[in-house]
Amino acid sequence: MKRPTNDAGTSGQVGPKSKNSKYRQQSEQARPSERLRHDGDEAPPREDGPADASGKKAARNGKRLNKSKLRAEKTGAKLDSAREKLAAQKPPKKPGPVKTVGRAARFQAWRYVHGKIHEVEHENVGVEAAHKTELAGETAVRGTTRFVKHRIRTRPTRRVRKWEKRDIKAKADFQYRTMVQEHPELKDNALSRFWQKQRIKKRYQKQAREAAKQGAKAAKKTAVTTEKIARAVWGFVQRHPVGVLIALGALLLLIILQSCMASLTTVGNGLIGAVSSTTYLSSDSDIETVEANYTQLESDLRARMGRIESDYPGYDEYRYTVDEIGHDPFELASYLTTKYAAYTPSMVQAELQALIRQQYTLTTTQTVEVRYRTETRTGTYTTTDPETGETETHSYTYEVQVPYNYYILNVTLTNNTLGAVIAANLDAEQQERYAVYQRTQGNRPYLFADNIYAHPTGEYTDYEIPPEALADPQFAALIAEAEKYLGYPYVWGGSKPSTSFDCSGFVCWVLNNSGVYPMSRTTAQGIFNQTTPIAPSEAKPGDIIFFTGTYDSSGPVSHVGIYVGDNMMIHCASGGVQYARMDTKYWTQHFYAFGRLTYN
């Protein structure tokens, strides 16, 4: 939409500002028959009474329209400026293979030096203290540097988002006030004003999304151009393989000679470590066996939960507050590789026992409540016949409330999450190595092919919901709440924005905080138990979709998302909160059922 221009004679503020202009009562608003005076028209003669009040009101409305217009112009200029800065921002350069090898070599050299210091620092308290201080300082500097770079890098994006919101709000306000000037009946009541502004805001938001789509198409064209250049380069390499190999060999030799000048031994160790620092060192069979052992420990815990009522008999009620049982297998493999390098099942058995005790906390507590039950009792009474003097005994029944003790066993299972346990068990240096293994998945992403963490396919950071779906106000409220958290990372056991989400935590939060369905925190299986299963052909936006076999869960349902129509869902998986296509191979294989909740 074209941004409004400042007409001559309409800018600025005339007269003193009314103290109560922001919060006027409904009775002070202009009547439908009143119209604002245009600039240049001769003002009617001032009279005492209602006409004078109408003139003041028209003047106030004119001032507000001018202010709204200026705000719209200001926010539009700020938004344009922010977009220009964002467009001028150059994308970060990805490190090439040579730079990557150089970084790995420097890291291994750093580790080699600090390793030597570690070997002798215990012999001298001063050296040990100085070394620990140095490590703490290096960690603080690295963390601060990364944080500052990230904030600097993302500042243009954050400013665009900030001014987009303000621009939409300002334009909506200006257009609303312009419409009120032409159609005063729009100001009949607060509810109509609110809905009118909301409709205007939605229209501007849709325009903003369309603009973003055009930007994405332009970026796609740029990517296609880049791909053509890459194909041309590859064609040159195919035509001149020998010359390219000689040039690359000479360049690599020059870099290696420069890096090796200080110490051939140190660089040799660094080059070897560059590969080992990103790859799991254990064999596939050992990694899979250890994962199976830890999964068995979780299955034993699940069986123990199933025996609660037989192990603790005699209670009137059992109340369960239970987190999901499960873990990311790559977290376990990365942790054990960080701590033990190449490990075998027998080597880490004790570590697995310690991890399972740290990750899960099972507690049982007894609560006694005094309750009352109704009992029927029998009583008797006698009557005497006044003429004969004979007595007669009668019986009757009555009810009484009798107190009794009601015994409740509260069962709580807390999953502290394996990631949180690992973070507490590793020092700063180990956490950096662990993060590298997690990013690369140890160069073995195929190890856990049936696990959700290895297959984030068909994912989208944004998606245009069909307009006909948004016509349902309940679904619109649901999506408005869900889209607030697009991009939030996946955290096992997370159930709120401050801790991020896992799949069931995200769905529970959205259902409850959108106001369409009261849903307390529960598992994916727990959500399924509250729905009515429906056929896939009957599914509509707002229904819940369930999957099975994405990891070892306590019930058949192991993953959950919100269906948004057109074979799309919004969910929280390994890539965080995002949209995903349900008709990809992975999700099709693991599909379980659709469920429907009865919304308010």
pTM surpassing 0.75?
no
Q: Where are the beta strands (DSSP E) in 272-359?
A: 317-322
In this prediction, residue 452 has a pLDDT band, given cuts at 50, 70 and 90, of low
CATH match of 452-596 with 3.90.1150.10: no
User: Mind listing the pLDDT tens digit for each residue in 18-32?
Assistant: 444 433 444 444 444
Take residue 596 and report the two structure tokens written for it.
């429907």
User: Mind listing the pLDDT tens digit for each residue in 549-565?
Assistant: 777 666 789 899 999 99
Which phi and psi (to 5°) does residue 386 adopt? -65, -20
Domain map of the chain by residue range? 26-222, 284-443, 452-596
Distance separating alpha carbons of residues 220 and 227, to the nearest angstrom: 10
Q: Where are the beta strands (DSSP E) in 254-348?
A: 317-322
279, with CB counted inside 10 A (0-12, 13-18, 19+), is middle
In this prediction, residue 312 has a pLDDT band, given cuts at 50, 70 and 90, of very high
Please give the pLDDT value at position 318. 87
Please give the pLDDT value at position 465. 86
Distance separating alpha carbons of residues 21 and 23, to the nearest angstrom: 6
Comparing 119-128, 405-414, 529-538, the range with the smallest average pLDDT is: 119-128
Please give the pLDDT value at position 364. 93
In a 3-state reduction of DSSP, which class is residue 514? coil
- Across the range 294-318, mean pLDDT stands at 88
Which tops the pLDDT comparison, 387 or 220? 387
Please give the pLDDT value at position 258. 60
Please give the pLDDT value at position 323. 75
Comparing 237-251, 307-321, 584-598, the range with the smallest average pLDDT is: 237-251
Please give the pLDDT value at position 53. 61
Q: What percent of the chain has pLDDT over 90?
A: 20
Tell me the HSE value of 115 on the side-chain side, using a 13 A CA sphere. Answer: 9
User: Mind listing the pLDDT tens digit for each residue in 60-101?
Assistant: 777 777 887 888 788 888 888 877 877 777 777 666 666 666
| Contact indicator for 407, 319 with CB cutoff of 8 Å | no
Distance set, CA 335 to CA 112, 310, 395, 594 (Å): 21, 37, 78, 36
User: Mind listing the pLDDT tens digit for each residue in 185-229?
Assistant: 555 455 555 666 666 666 666 666 666 566 555 555 544 555 666
Take residue 571 and report the two structure tokens written for it.
């969910």
User: Mind listing the pLDDT tens digit for each residue in 468-479?
Assistant: 888 888 999 999
Please give the pLDDT value at position 41. 43
User: Is the predicted pLDDT of residue 128 greater than 50, yes or no?
Assistant: yes
User: Is the predicted pLDDT of residue 483 greater than 50, yes or no?
Assistant: yes
Comparing 33-47, 146-160, 425-439, 515-529, the range with the smallest average pLDDT is: 33-47
| Contact indicator for 406, 370 with CB cutoff of 8 Å | yes
User: Mind listing the pLDDT tens digit for each residue in 139-191?
Assistant: 767 777 777 777 777 788 788 778 777 887 777 777 777 776 666 655 545 55
The alpha carbon dihedral of 205, 207, 211, 216 has a sign of: positive
Please give the pLDDT value at position 10. 38
| Contact indicator for 87, 160 with CB cutoff of 8 Å | no
Tokens 């009949």 sit at which residue?
188
| Contact indicator for 34, 180 with CB cutoff of 8 Å | no
User: Mind listing the pLDDT tens digit for each residue in 414-428?
Assistant: 888 888 888 889 988
What is the residue-averaged pLDDT of the chain?
A: 75
Distance separating alpha carbons of residues 467 and 479, to the nearest angstrom: 12
| Contact indicator for 292, 299 with CB cutoff of 8 Å | no
User: Is the predicted pLDDT of residue 461 greater than 80, yes or no?
Assistant: no
Take residue 182 and report the two structure tokens written for it.
């032409």
Comparing 69-83, 230-244, 486-500, 571-585, the range with the smallest average pLDDT is: 230-244
3-state secondary structure 183-199: CHHHHCCHHHHHHHHHH
- Across the range 362-377, mean pLDDT stands at 92
User: Mind listing the pLDDT tens digit for each residue in 339-359?
Assistant: 998 899 999 999 999 999 999
